[in-house]
Amino acid sequence: MLVQRNDVGRVLFTYATLTFFALIFMIPLVYALYTSFLQLKDVDSIVPFRELTVDSYVRLWTSPAYSLPRWYWNTAVMTGIIIGGNLIFNTMAGYALSKLDFYGKRVIFFIILATLMIPYHIVLIPVYTTMATLGWLDTMRALTIPYMSQVLHIFLVRQFFLGVPNELLEASRLDGLSKIGAFFRIMLPLSGPALATMIILIFTGTWNSFMIPSTMVTRKEMFVLVVGLNSVKDQYFDRTNLIMAGVILTTLPVILLFLFLQKWYVQGVSTSGLKG
Amino acid sequence: MTDRPVPVKHNRYSAWSDSDTFVGWLFVAPFLMIWGFWFFRPFMLSLSRSFQDVNFMDLNAARFIWFGNYLDILRDPEFHEAVLHSLTIVVFAVPTQSLLALLVAIALNRKLPGRGVFRTIYSVPYIVSPIAVATVFMVLFRRNQVIVRLLSTIIQTPNVTWFADVNLALPFVILMFIWQQTGFFMIIYIAGLQGIPDDLYEAATVDGANPFQKFRYITVPSLKPVTYFVVTVGTILAFQIFDQIAAISRYGNLGSPAGATTTVITYFYQHGIRYMNIGRGSAAVVIFVLIIMAITALQKRLMAVKE
Amino acid sequence: MRIFRTTMAITIVMFLSVPVLLSARGGSEAPTDEVTTIRLGLWGAEAAINAYAENSQGVEDVFPGVRIDMQPSPSSQEFWNTLPGRIAAGTAPDILQLTNEGAFEYIDAGLFIPIGEILAEAGLSMDEFSESALDIWTVDGELYGIPVSVGPAMFFINVDMWEEAGLGEYPTTWEEVEQAAGALTTEDRHGLIVNIHPFHLTNYVLSHGGGWGNGRTIASDANEQGLNTVIRMFESGVAVSPQQAGYGWDGEVFSNRAAAMSTGGHWYKAFLSNAAPDLNWVAVPMPQGGTMASTSHSEAIVVLRDAVDRTAAVQAAYYLAREAALENLMINASINPARPSLSAQYYEVNPEFQAVQPYVQYGQDFGYPAETSRFIDALVRRMEERILAGRSVTTREILSDLQSDFQ
């Protein structure tokens, strides 16, 4: 009896704490949401419910200067291609760097760490020039091909793969699997959470990316969401309510993806898989 | 795995597909090709600029000046200040965000109904664009606002707008940065925790281990590769912090007030991009990378991580 | 340890082996077909970009064989960040719309070309453009841009606060401003906003009879007086910077009624009508510190050095500044047109600025040194160190340091 009451108390306490912090963590999003329903004159003040307006959203959807459906589509295509490339190439590289032993492995790992340390700004101009020479500017190729295998996520996948017990791989060899076979049959099925994590991180990073799309694309039809919404700016001042409506429109898909991936995220490693 | 895979037939390719060297290079080849063409080549181009006096108007009329750009930077007091700020950010942000992320991840790794929703909510600061987060923080830390008043009674900070105060602007930036990065590393820790087999804990329970012992002897060692990632990447990202700083000086000088939030990366940005001094900007990046390398190598030794 | 050694070894090798890699130069030939497409680079408000899109229609009827292609950038920052790459890649625009605030840096670097001769050869006259706008775009006797707009900086006052404080005539000198600011400062608001920003600081030095003189006259006595006025008002507590007040820029402080007066420009109208429609404000000429002067913003269309066809580029620029085009911009993007023939109509639509109309001729260029961005960063930083960080340095020292750095 006593134990049980304690348990109930503990669960309640956990929920209370989690909810309390959750509320704090929601502040930026709630603020953005609230501000996006304001007129510019009411920004930074509390107004009664009936004075809220959807004007900002209407303006973003209907103004001829913006083509939101097109920009959503471009962003989705860009994000999809980059996630696809990274899923394939990074898991391959991560497997090689964590579970195989070959000459040159240390150098490649060093390359990955070093690349991570270099701010991308420094290669932007030469990359731009190359894109122009290839005639790839204003195309999806310029936004995706160089980013199909990103060092941050190779590093991430490698670290996760290091945690997979070597015994599993040795057992698979006794079953007659080759090194390539072990990758497909052992590593990939075991790395649900790692891959879900990578998808979430790449999705967030690519979906919100600004520097590269704003450099490589100048045609409005090829804009991605963040670049397009950024052109909302007035020359001399910001329209905070429009900016926040843009933030909400950009953030919602990411939050939906998060909720959607949760299932996969926890499924990942079941003990039965490890007992093998 | 109850269904045993069918043994692979031994044909003449199996020797290759079983060789670490062949499979290893085959599997890193796509990455290396993309990296070589789209990163290494452009980077070497930029690197060669760091030894040149070069005008953006005419890139071909560059003059080779050996280490002139490097010496200029190393002698610049504003660069010293920027390095100091960058180190401050790393020292305060990295341990705090790593520890917080781990604690939140452990709390959310319990089998609670609705944890998916909580996980999403706790990731919100990372998902939302830095501009939105900065806007909110700038409102909250305005003179006379509740938080500023509270803090001025508790820890005696003056009742001023934080991002306009030369002493509080950098702590303000660090606070925003930790707020955003904790979500990022929490996601990674949760995935890491998912990867620890339950039977390890079950065995420990049978052996009579208490929760702290389980944490100390199972969770921490199992998370070592993930922690190495969190600390290394955390350090690199803290060095590259830019969005939050750009946001608070959106209408003014990058690094304002009075240079209180300049960092190595804003230094690079100002000289290399804003003043279009490509040579000096490239040299700043090389120095910058050497500093991070030294720090991450040091961290590696301190953490005694065997990779 | 081994990885660390490898790291160092590779670093050193990379460092020593830096090959002199030269990018292959993409050969771009001038198109030989009959139609020349002139690329127009611009950024700014949505309304202005739409107006430009309309204005670029029909250019072929006036200048046969010329077409205009719009190339808007999300903002000036993206434009300038990518310009070096675009020049190297041959994808830079041929003509560009920008304001005079940072233009001298690029004129001095040779990015924009003088257009006087080309205009004369093409038989295009500049007689119908405003004298002060042409002055702004003339450097060393050469015209560099076809002006679109021109408008002086102004001084804005919150009328309700002003009347509440029982103050009479609006101020015409900085001394009067300082006194009024004292009367207008209360517990939760300041009398005056001074944004420590080059635009605002330049207005203080110009109205004290100073100016940067493109780097020649940084350390002048008049500049010292101008900046001292700013410092004095901060020290007596009647002035506040937007950041100190917790906002981004001066207009936000003004619209949120956290201060009563500010230096500003025509953009206040568009902003205030959205951000604070019931705020009662007035625009008056820039107060004097002994001299009647202020900055003037002028947008113009300039021709880039690497333009495919300079004559066609000048023709396109001229077409975009024709009377009907400026009228469209005036009506839809509320610019103050650089053609005096439209002025009467402008002040009819914008009666708020009528008080300033007689003073337009006192508007000047910003006069920054050639290394404009480095100069304004250094100036703002030194002033912030003095005002916000309380560094003990005299204005004279600040200015002589800057002078020796930006000869």
Tell me the pLDDT tens digit for each residue of C77-87.
888 888 888 88
Q: Over chain C, what is the mean pLDDT?
A: 89
- What is the C-alpha to C-alpha distance for residues C387 and C390, in angstroms, rounded to an integer? 5
Categorize the per-residue pLDDT at B139 as very low, low, confident or very high, splitting at 50, 70 and 90: confident
ipTM comes to 0.88
Question: What is the number of domains present in chain A?
Answer: 1
Least confident of A146-160, B113-127, C15-29: C15-29
Query: Does pLDDT of A8 surpass 60?
Result: yes
What pLDDT is recorded for position C21?
Answer: 30
Tell me if residue A181 falls in helix, strand or coil. helix
CATH code of the domain in which A63 resides = 1.10.3720.10
Give the pair of three-digit tokens for residue C202. 């330049």
What pLDDT is recorded for position C327?
Answer: 96
Long-range contacts, stretch B290-295, CB < 8 angstroms, 24+ apart: B290/C11, B291/B83, B291/B86, B291/B239, B291/B264, B292/A117, B292/B235, B292/B236, B292/B239, B293/A114, B293/A117, B293/C7, B293/C11, B295/B90, B295/B235
CATH number for domain C152-295+366-405, candidates 3.40.50.300, 3.80.10.10, 3.30.43.10, 3.40.190.10: 3.40.190.10
Tell me the pLDDT tens digit for each residue of C114-173.
999 999 999 999 999 999 999 999 999 999 999 999 999 999 999 999 999 999 999 999
Q: Which domain, by its residues, includes A89? A: 37-275
Q: What is the SS3 assignment for chain C?
A: CHHHHHHHHHHHHHHHCCCCCCCCCCCCCCCCCCCEEEEEEECCCHHHHHHHHHHCCCHHHHCCCEEEEEEECCCHHHHHHHHHHHHHHCCCCCEEEEECCCHHHHHHHCCECCCHHHHHHCCCCCCCCCHHHHHHCEECCEECEEECECEECEEEEEHHHHHHCCCCCCCCEHHHHHHHHHHHCECCEEEEECCCCHHHHHHHHHHCCCCCHHHCCCCCHHHHHHHHHHHHHHHCCCEECHHHHCCCCHHHHHHCCCEEEEEECCHHHHHHHHHCCCCCEEEECCCECCCCCEEEECEEEEEECCCCCHHHHHHHHHHHCCHHHHHHHHHHHCCCECCHHHHHHHHHHCHHHHHHHHHHHHEECCCCCCCHHHHHHHHHHHHHHHHCCCCCCCHHHHHHHHHHHCC
- Locate the chain C residue with the closest alpha carbon to A132: C89
Query: Does pLDDT of A40 surpass 60?
Result: yes
Between B87 and C333, the more confident residue is B87
Q: Is residue A24 part of a domain?
A: no
Cβ atoms of C57 and C67 closer than 8 Å: no
A237/C271 Cβ within 8 A: yes
CA C335, C77, A234: angle at the middle one, nearest 5?
A: 35
List chain B residues with CB under 8 Å of A100: 20, 23-24, 27
Categorize the per-residue pLDDT at B250 as very low, low, confident or very high, splitting at 50, 70 and 90: confident
Q: Is residue A109 part of a domain?
A: yes
State the average pLDDT over residues A196-221: 89
List chain A residues with CB under 8 Å of C86: 128, 132
Q: Which of C161, C179, C386 is nearest to C282 (CA)?
A: C161
Cβ atoms of B256 and A90 closer than 8 Å: no
List chain B residues with CB under 8 Å of A154: 31
Q: Over chain B, what is the mean pLDDT?
A: 88
Which of C2, C85, C274 lies closest to A125 in CB terms? C85
What pLDDT is recorded for position C18?
Answer: 36
- Locate the chain A residue with the closest alpha carbon to C40: A218
State the average pLDDT over residues B224-251: 91
What pLDDT is recorded for position C19?
Answer: 31
Which of B141, B259, B307 lies closest to C381 in CB terms? B259
Tell me the pLDDT tens digit for each residue of C188-217.
899 999 999 999 999 999 999 999 999 999
What pLDDT is recorded for position A233?
Answer: 63
Question: Amino acid letter at B175?
Answer: L
Positive or negative, the CA dihedral C145, C149, C152, C157 is negative
Query: Does pLDDT of B154 surpass 90?
Result: yes
Using a 10 angstrom Cβ sphere, with 0-12 exposed, 13-18 middle and 19 or more buried, the burial of residue A106 is: middle
Tell me the pLDDT tens digit for each residue of C286-334.
999 999 999 999 999 999 999 999 999 999 999 999 999 999 999 988 8
- Locate the chain C residue with the closest alpha carbon to A134: C26
Q: How many CA atoms lie within 13 A of A162 on its CB side?
A: 21
Where, residue-wise, is CATH 3.40.190.10 in chain C? 36-150+298-338, 152-295+366-405
Best of B48, B54, B57, B160 to mutate (most C CBs within 10 Å, chain C) = B57
Q: Which of C343, C363, C231 is nearest to C286 (CA)?
A: C363
Q: Is residue A13 part of a domain?
A: no
Categorize the per-residue pLDDT at A234 as very low, low, confident or very high, splitting at 50, 70 and 90: low
What CATH topology corresponds to B68-303? MetI-like fold (1.10.3720)
A177/B273 Cβ within 8 A: no
Least confident of A52-61, B51-60, B233-242, C299-308: B51-60
Tell me the pLDDT tens digit for each residue of A105-134.
999 999 999 999 999 988 988 999 899 999
What pLDDT is recorded for position C6?
Answer: 53
What pLDDT is recorded for position A150?
Answer: 96
How far is Cα of residue B183 from the mean position of the Cα atoms in its chain? 12
What is the domain class of C36-150+298-338 according to CATH?
alpha beta
Restricting to B residues 57-96, those with a Cβ less than 8 Å away from any Cβ of C are 57, 59-60, 64
- What is the C-alpha to C-alpha distance for residues C233 and C286, in angstroms, rounded to an integer? 17
B61 φ, ψ (degrees, to nearest 5): -95, 35
Query: Could you give the strand order of the β-sheet that contains C190-193, starting from the edge strand earlier in sequence?
Result: C239-240, C190-193, C259-264, C154-158, C281-284
- The answer to whether residue A67 neighbours chain C at the CB level (below 8 Å) is no
Q: Which residues pair with B65 in a beta bridge?
A: none
Q: Over chain A, what is the mean pLDDT?
A: 86
List chain A residues with CB under 8 Å of C43: 235
Where, residue-wise, is CATH 1.10.3720.10 in chain B? 68-303
Tell me the pLDDT tens digit for each residue of C221-271.
999 999 999 999 999 999 999 999 998 899 999 999 999 999 999 989 988
- The answer to whether residue C86 neighbours chain A at the CB level (below 8 Å) is yes
What pLDDT is recorded for position B161?
Answer: 93
